[in-house]
Chains A and B, each alone.
Chain A
Amino acid sequence: MVPWVEQHRPSSIAQVAHQRHVVATLSSAVESGNLPHLLFYGPPGTGKTSTILALAKDLYGPELYKSRVLELNASDERGIDVVRNKIKHFASLAVSSSKSSSYPCPPFKLVILDEADCMTTDAQSALRRTMETCTRVTRFCIICNYVSRIISPIASRCAKFRFQPVSTEVMLERLNMIADKEGFQLPSDVTDALVNISGGDLRRAITMMQNTYILHGNSMKGQDIIENAATIPDSVILDLVNSCKYNSFEKIQSKVNDIIADGYPANQIHDWVMSKEAFGISAKSKSIICKALGTTDMRLTDGSDVTLSLLHLVSVIMQALQTS
């Protein structure tokens, strides 16, 4: 038994949801047996890994899979040496002529480089050369979250596919399908909450759905999802912003302490303040607050202490509201 995300991972290209453009192009590639180098990019849980694994299965079938496909991801060493030796070796070998009847088995191999964001530029440069020299017998599929992490000589050699956050309708369809197979009814307020919170990340939506089903069974409600979503409730942030209005340092310090002790993720406070830049203040104060937000965000990203950074931010907001 495995969690639903794995259980319901698409096993053929046709089952991949939402990424219509990708699916159409790749299906015709399967038929014609012709494939360019591929570059998949997009946010987590949108089907990148699933799609390429499904494609590989559709192309080669289980028997030839091992000899024709090399899958490397961030859990494998992929330094320059590996590119120069292991990958190059695999990519340059001629393909065996063995053919299994029920699969297209095109005359090339497939090298999948998943989670390529963290490959060094050196390793990527070496890869570029291998790609050039082995095109006749090997296709590459590079997968990443941020396409900017891939050097342009590689990107320009690939057919690029952007994996979109999964749309509301498709997500509903998919979630209902899984619920159906698992034998329960998904109330509409639950799906609404799942769509809202997952932000297009289908894996996250499925995982949350399963967890909520485990916790509440058939009586699950939308509220249950929100409780478990690792988000900071609006009320908490409103409370914090309101406490700024008293111009009391002690008050904000105790609020900040509580937010941290309650374990809420600090960066969400930024997102919130950014999104609701409202609370009726002057342009000048807004610009001061935004500047402080930027600085704090950078500091937290660099690993700064949350207490000090957050306290500083809130004290700046307090000052800005006062002069506003």
Chain B
Amino acid sequence: MLWVDKYRPVQLDKLTYNDGLTQQLKRISAKENVQNMCHLLFYGPPGAGKKTRIMALLREIYGPGVEKLKVEIKNFKFKSSSVDITFITSNYHVEINPSDVGPYRDRDVAQEVIKEIAQSHAPSNSAAVQFKIVLLNEVDKMSRDGQAALRRTMEKYTSACRFVLVCNNASKVIEPLRSRCICLRVPAPRDKEVEEILCNVYRKEVKKELPVEAATKISNMSNRNLRKALLMLESTYVKFGVVDESSQPQLADWEVYVGMIAHNILEDQSPKKLLEIRGQFYELLASCIPPELILQKLALELLRKLDDSVKVDILQNAAFFEHRLQLGSKPIFHLEAFAAKAMVIYKKWSIEFMEMCDEMDD
């Protein structure tokens, strides 16, 4: 089991950081209140611990029985197509990811699958809590029609079921849905909190102290993403057998690879190089790295390496091509266009820079 999973707190009491939020969840799930629970919308960046908190909340409500999970893939035939949907269920809740099936079919999923779940019976065995929970992931990735299809379902069947919606970006959840929920923000842990957690996990797993410098280094590289930080800690440990001041934390392979592309852009601005970069993009896409993530990472990498005077220009183009990429259907075009544009920007800057140096020499 990965360390991220192994040391995931399962009880509300064991959660660290975001204490205010934890207190709220405790009140919501307290015996005298739980019957009145409203629909919840958790939002926050990736790796901030939304899911951990939700599972701890469910445990508080239903007891440890909720951890007995069953994973099933069911096939559904809709009018236009058939899709496979992964269900993660316990006796008390159902979890699915409706956006998985894509923008037109997520509406079918909401209309036929989710409504069906909401209508079906509440958990009967434990009389304590009379409703089940329907947990929907990545609601912000659902189409507007898909989201709209949840509206009335969330109202009609409240006595038998409460919804817990999860997303990264609350602005992408339509207003009528937000109006139906308590919106709970889950901020990522601060750098210091990440460091503490890293040290704790390391102590428990390796039975040694993690040097502060090493913890700081990993925490900085992970940009407040706790999942990423823990994965990095583990892979660094696996590689070196120990993590100390001198060990260089292990980035994910694809990130290293994007770093190489950035390096290539600055090394030589020519059609030949661009062709080589195209190959690299293809390779990343082939290993299923989302194109918008590639573009974001590449832009940030370039920003790190370039002079302040060209940063706005780089960003302007990164944002422009990323938008194009979202609208278009062939990511490679937009990735390559951005790379070419970055070459131009850099070339122009370096020529001006040289001229300036020459002038100073004269």
Nearest-neighbour CB distance to chain B for A310, whole angstroms, equals 9
Bound-complex Cα distance A315 to B306 (A)? 15
Chain B residue with Cβ nearest A313:
B319
Is there a chain B Cβ closer than 8 Å to A11's Cβ? Answer: no
Chain A residue with Cβ nearest B186:
A263
Of the listed residues B35, B149, B182, the one surrounded by the most CB atoms of chain A closer than 10 A to its CB is B182
Is there a chain A Cβ closer than 8 Å to B176's Cβ? Answer: yes
- Chain B residues, CB < 8 A from A253: 303
Chain-B contact segment, one of A12-20, A59-67, A130-138, A200-208:
A200-208
Is there a chain B Cβ closer than 8 Å to A234's Cβ? Answer: no
**A267 CB contact (under 8 Å) in B28, B171, B224, B295:** B171
Bound-complex Cα distance A47 to B155 (A)? 13
Interface of A is mostly: helix
**A201 CB contact (under 8 Å) in B179, B319, B323:** B179
Nearest-neighbour CB distance to chain B for A172, whole angstroms, equals 19
Nearest-neighbour CB distance to chain B for A213, whole angstroms, equals 9
Is there a chain B Cβ closer than 8 Å to A2's Cβ? Answer: yes
Find residues 275-316 in chain A having any chain B CB closer than 8 Å to their own CB.
Answer: 296, 299-300, 302-309, 311-312, 315-316
**A315 CB contact (under 8 Å) in B27, B153, B155, B312:** B312
Q: Are B292 and A305 in contact (CB under 8 A)?
A: yes
Is there a chain B Cβ closer than 8 Å to A187's Cβ? Answer: no
Of the listed residues B185, B295, B303, the one surrounded by the most CB atoms of chain A closer than 10 A to its CB is B185
Bound-complex Cα distance A306 to B318 (A)? 12
Chain A residue with Cβ nearest B48:
A263
Q: Are A260 and B181 in contact (CB under 8 A)?
A: no
- Chain B residues, CB < 8 A from A125: none
**B149 CB contact (under 8 Å) in A43, A74, A210, A266:** A74
Chain B, interface size category, equals 35 or more
Q: Are A2 and B323 in contact (CB under 8 A)?
A: no
Nearest-neighbour CB distance to chain B for A66, whole angstroms, equals 15
**B151 CB contact (under 8 Å) in A6, A73, A229, A299:** A73
Q: Are A1 and B148 in contact (CB under 8 A)?
A: no
Bound-complex Cα distance A312 to B317 (A)? 9
Given A6-B158, A75-B151, A308-B296, verify A262-B188 contact (CB < 8 Å): yes
**A74 CB contact (under 8 Å) in B145, B312, B327:** B145
Q: Are B185 and A73 in contact (CB under 8 A)?
A: no
Nearest-neighbour CB distance to chain B for A200, whole angstroms, equals 11
CB 8 Å contact bits of A184-220 with B (1 = contact, 0 = none): 0000000000000000010110011011001100000
Q: Are B188 and A261 in contact (CB under 8 A)?
A: yes
CB 8 Å contact bits of A40-70 with B (1 = contact, 0 = none): 0001110001000000000000000000000
Chain B residue with Cβ nearest A299:
B323
CB 8 Å contact bits of B320-362 with A (1 = contact, 0 = none): 0011001100000000000000000000000000000000000
Q: Are A263 and B45 in contact (CB under 8 A)?
A: yes
**A261 CB contact (under 8 Å) in B24, B182, B224:** B224
Bound-complex Cα distance A303 to B142 (A)? 11
Chain A, interface size category, equals 35 or more
CB 8 Å contact bits of B287-303 with A (1 = contact, 0 = none): 00000100110011001
- Chain B residues, CB < 8 A from A170: none
**A210 CB contact (under 8 Å) in B36, B130, B185, B300:** B36
**B28 CB contact (under 8 Å) in A49, A203, A214, A308:** A214
Given A73-B152, A203-B179, A319-B312, verify A307-B296 contact (CB < 8 Å): yes
Q: Are A304 and B323 in contact (CB under 8 A)?
A: yes
Is there a chain B Cβ closer than 8 Å to A103's Cβ? Answer: no
Is there a chain B Cβ closer than 8 Å to A145's Cβ? Answer: yes
- Chain A residues, CB < 8 A from B303: 249, 253
Bound-complex Cα distance A234 to B168 (A)? 21
Known: A211-B38, A265-B169, A312-B319. 15 other contacts (CB 8 A): A3-B36, A49-B152, A74-B149, A75-B151, A210-B36, A214-B27, A230-B170, A230-B185, A249-B308, A261-B188, A263-B185, A267-B171, A309-B319, A311-B315, A312-B316
Q: List 25 A-B contacts (CB under 8 A).
A: A4-B36, A5-B38, A44-B175, A74-B151, A75-B115, A75-B150, A75-B151, A77-B111, A115-B148, A145-B175, A204-B178, A207-B181, A214-B28, A214-B33, A263-B44, A263-B45, A263-B170, A265-B43, A268-B171, A299-B326, A302-B327, A303-B326, A304-B322, A305-B296, A315-B312
Question: Chain B interface (Cβ within 8 Å of chain A)?
Answer: 20, 24, 27-28, 33, 35-39, 43-45, 48, 79, 110-111, 115, 130, 144-145, 148-153, 155, 158-159, 169-172, 175-176, 178-188, 223-225, 292, 295-296, 299-300, 303, 308, 311-312, 315-316, 318-319, 322-323, 326-327
Question: Chain A interface (Cβ within 8 Å of chain B)?
Answer: 1-6, 43-45, 49, 73-77, 114-115, 117-118, 145, 201, 203-204, 207-208, 210-211, 214-215, 227-230, 249, 253, 257, 260-268, 296, 299-300, 302-309, 311-312, 315-316, 319
